[in-house]
Chains A and B, each alone.
Chain A
């Protein structure tokens, strides 16, 4: 849609956010804010996600039954929605991860000769 934008921030590919959420939840159930923080932290802030866009993704995953949601209390005794990876989600994570690796490998392969060309 937008023609000019800040190019330093990497636009997330469709499905990438889903993969990041699933990965984060593998460590245990947690709430939305913590997931946002975890993604931000573990990617060294390269992946700058608008925190809000996390939520449609979370709901999409709930609808697919890859994660579930429950009421809980957080570390400082506050009520919160906790998201938890389901068994189906765990299986899906494996599938998505290998898919992602294949994709990343393929892209790397496509890019390598291009770099060599530009170097020559």
Chain B
């Protein structure tokens, strides 16, 4: 029994006793019992009213009234199923799309990383100087020397680790398997702060030479290769011909770092499968190839302080080696920011796009609500006359619109769930943490928020009309369809805004389409048709010397070229879209450096004869490599046209000399020029590049040809050749693993996945916006035709032709659309410049796109007006005049 019921029971009893006492008192004063009772009742007052008043004290009046309003609103919605269905569907699309996009944003940008105190983890880089092969300011990795020296003196970090990717051949039962792994210093796991599922992570002295043969497995590797054996810790596995002891297994889902989370230059694998210690020798040397991660000291140290310490270190290095000037600008990037990488801006773009869709959807529904509220004027007039205050009517309207919003949101959540399902299953795989996009409480809170805002705005829109209108006036004409200027104006404003918003969105989508088209048609320097590629990694233990490597590559090449169905085959350090290549500072006798900042440089790749024809990039000038280019013959190189025009502008580079900066190695003679072959993205600007025949590589340590990629141009379906390729390689060396077997077309596809995804989403939103705007425009124009039936009837009866009527209606629609288009063009002109990072080969104010989209919108607008115009022309003046 609730307190309220208990109190009401008490009251009944109390009133009975009160009356009893009063009656007794009256009897004591000498009244007769019946009279005494009546007098008591009279003095008490109306018992029912007292009971009601007391009940009201205990009741939650607002709740009861709310239920009343909701029930009434529900009845109204059911009475107008057409309106309700259209409004709910529109809201569901708007709210659903917003919810889906927000959950992606939430999953990628807002959710905490699953590491201990992720905000304390930072990545440390150097900024690439202007003279480097990368865009200035890009993350530049560390040398092992700097890692060792900085580690020894740093005070900012509690833990500190360096890492780079490496591959490991797991040889044993069955086919040799190539595993993507990571070499890390011992501080890596402590920095990331994730506990192993089994065993331990690296101990501080695991990176000592005597301890370094230990390995930590990923959960996936442990399941797939070690059949989830919990006794795996302590067992020995053979990697690269060495015996490693398994010390730990990481929990499911942990494969940090993934390729998409780190700069592309780090060439990290999509999924790290194992971790082995990275040994730091006493006097480390070698190239910049290590990423450095650190956990800030608890309490005092901020990322800025850490950056200051790093800067001090850089300054000291430059003091010691003045030639290093410019290469030691620190960049400290918080890990949460790092792993988001380049996805942040596309996501914000999508959020903006979906926001526009939501605005259009809501204004569409607002327009509908407005139209319907005119139909309901009589109802409001009547209720007003019966004493319902303005506040009461407003509350009723708000309840109804919130109810509408609530139903729309419920349907919208289904839409979002469906959209997320599609994105998770068919979306690009190289967007970090896309899988983390779920409808979690924060997303639902967001949905609730936009629903409330939408509902309140929708409720207030018709209220504007109510307050502005003279209700008494309406009573006079029976509350019938008298035209309301306030409402018409509001509806016109809404539809103009819709057209403008849709125009901005469609122009944005158009610019992205043009970008995508430019990307695909711009000269990539290769042709991806029917090219099979895979990666070959030579085990260190077996092939250490460049001559040994060259021998096995020659054997491989001959075996591949001999395969039936292969038109041409070649080897190269990195196939197009296979990742970035090494780069180095050059020595060009024709181009002696003027000062420290004028060091010539180029990407430095190894290639074989046949490679350029295999990827469909014929030589522009000169000759391809020949079988006669051997270690003993004249050293040659082929350069790309970017290098030719950069270092020999207006001259013929064939026959000129170029070499690596280190004078221990002789220069090479340029024998050919090829197109600029893009490496990691179709939209990259070409870098100078030189190709060295693998048969003439004299440098042992770096750049290395330990890993090469093969490209095979085939006569038919390239993937059909996979089996015979594997068999051919087993014939070369049974322990030679091949990895990443795929087609060049698939690599190109992957490289454009994110652009396509953005384009697809923004394009869908633009389409949605266009449809909603069309519906909105149609609604407004047909409503005005309906309103003007009488007037049009008169016009026809006095001689207006069918054509006159159609053009009059089309004209009024076109005027609205025209104002919207002009406003939209201005807005787009202001807004699209913010998109310039997404664009390639097209200006943000591309006149072609602007004109085409404006024409499209005008066409769609006229189409939307055509039906009501025809209806208007078909009005029978007799019926129209009787109607009034």
Contacts and interface: CB of A to CB of B under 8 A. Distances in A.
A, B co-complexed: yes
Interface of A: 31-33, 36, 50-53, 55-56, 59-60, 62-63, 69, 78-81
Contacts of B54: 55-56, 59
B45 interface: yes
A69 B17 CA distance: 15
Contacts of A78: 17
Given A50-B44, A59-B58, A60-B57, A81 B50 contact: no
A51 B20 CA distance: 13
Interface stretch (B7-15, B108-116, B308-316, B620-628): B7-15
A33 B21 CA distance: 7
B58 A52 contact: no
B203 interface: no
Interface string B47-73: 101100110111000000000000000
A1 to B, nearest CB: 13
A32 B44 CA distance: 12
B53 A50 contact: no
Contacts of B14: 31-32, 55, 80-81
Interface in B1-34: 7, 10-11, 13-15, 17-18, 21-22
B44 A81 contact: no
A54 to B, nearest CB: 8
Contact of A69 (B10, B15, B49, B56): B10
Given A59-B58, A63-B58, A81-B10, A51 B22 contact: yes
Given A56-B54, A60-B57, A69-B10, A51 B17 contact: no
A31 B45 CA distance: 18
Given A32-B17, A55-B15, 17 more contacts: A31-B17, A33-B18, A33-B21, A36-B18, A50-B43, A51-B43, A53-B53, A55-B54, A56-B53, A56-B57, A59-B11, A59-B57, A59-B58, A60-B57, A78-B17, A80-B17, A81-B13
Contact of A55 (B21, B22, B50): B50
A40 to B, nearest CB: 9
A33 B11 CA distance: 12
Contacts of B45: 50-53
B820 to A, nearest CB: 54
Contacts of A52: 15, 44-47, 49-50
Task: Determine the main DSSP class of B at the interface with A.
Answer: helix
Contacts of B44: 50-52
A60 B45 CA distance: 19
A33 B17 contact: yes
17 contacts: A32-B17, A32-B18, A33-B17, A33-B18, A50-B43, A51-B43, A52-B47, A52-B50, A53-B50, A55-B11, A55-B14, A55-B53, A56-B57, A63-B57, A63-B58, A69-B10, A81-B17
A56 B48 CA distance: 12
A36 B60 CA distance: 28
A50 B44 CA distance: 6
Interface string B820-836: 00000000000000000
Residue picked from A50, A52, A62, most chain B C-beta under 10 Å: A52
Nearest to B15: A55
A56 B18 contact: no
A59 B46 contact: no
A116 B879 CA distance: 76
A80 B18 CA distance: 9
A23 B684 CA distance: 87
A33 B22 contact: yes
Given A51-B44, A51-B45, A56 B56 contact: yes
A31 B15 CA distance: 11
Contacts of A53: 45, 50, 53
Contacts of B47: 52
A79 B17 CA distance: 9
Q: Which among A36, A59, A79 has the highest number of chain B CB atoms within 10 Å?
A: A59
A60 B22 CA distance: 23
Contacts of B10: 69, 81
A116 to B, nearest CB: 40
Interface in B839-883: none
A62 B58 CA distance: 10
Contacts of B53: 53, 55-56
Contact of A62 (B7, B15, B43): B7
A80 B46 CA distance: 21
Contacts of A32: 14, 17-18
A33 B54 CA distance: 16
A78 B13 CA distance: 12
Contacts of A81: 10, 13-14, 17
Given A50-B44, A51-B44, A62-B7, A56 B13 contact: no
A56 B17 contact: no
Contacts of A80: 14, 17
Nearest to A36: B18
Interface string B722-750: 00000000000000000000000000000
Q: Which of B15, B21, B49, B53 has the most CB atoms of chain A within a 10 A radius of its CB? A: B21
Contacts of A79: 17
Contacts of B22: 33, 51
A69 B6 CA distance: 12
Contacts of A62: 7
Contacts of A33: 17-18, 21-22
Contacts of A69: 10
A102 to B, nearest CB: 27
A102 B374 CA distance: 52
B57 to A, nearest CB: 4
Contacts of B11: 55, 59
A23 B799 CA distance: 86
A51 B15 CA distance: 10
B49 A59 contact: no
A88 B44 CA distance: 29
B610 to A, nearest CB: 92
Nearest to B43: A51
Interchain residue pairs A-B with the least CB separation, the first 9: A52-B45, A50-B45, A52-B50, A56-B53, A33-B21, A59-B57, A56-B54, A52-B44, A33-B18
A73 B50 CA distance: 24
A33 B10 CA distance: 14
A41 B11 CA distance: 24
A36 B7 CA distance: 19
A56 B50 contact: yes
Contacts of B17: 31-33, 78-81
A23 B44 CA distance: 21
A59 B7 CA distance: 8
Which among B22, B43, B46 has the greatest number of chain A C-beta atoms within 10 A?
B43
Contacts of B15: 52, 55
Nearest to A80: B17
Contacts of A60: 57
Interface in B49-106: 49-50, 53-54, 56-58
Contacts of B56: 56
Best-surrounded residue of B10, B13, B22, B56 (most CB of chain A within 10 A): B10
A46 to B, nearest CB: 16
A25 B22 CA distance: 20
A56 B47 CA distance: 11
A57 B236 CA distance: 85
A49 B875 CA distance: 70
A69 B13 CA distance: 13
Contacts of B46: 52
A33 B49 CA distance: 18
Contacts of A63: 57-58
A58 to B, nearest CB: 8
Contacts of A50: 43-45
A60 B14 CA distance: 15
Contacts of A36: 18
A116 B45 CA distance: 40
A41 to B, nearest CB: 12
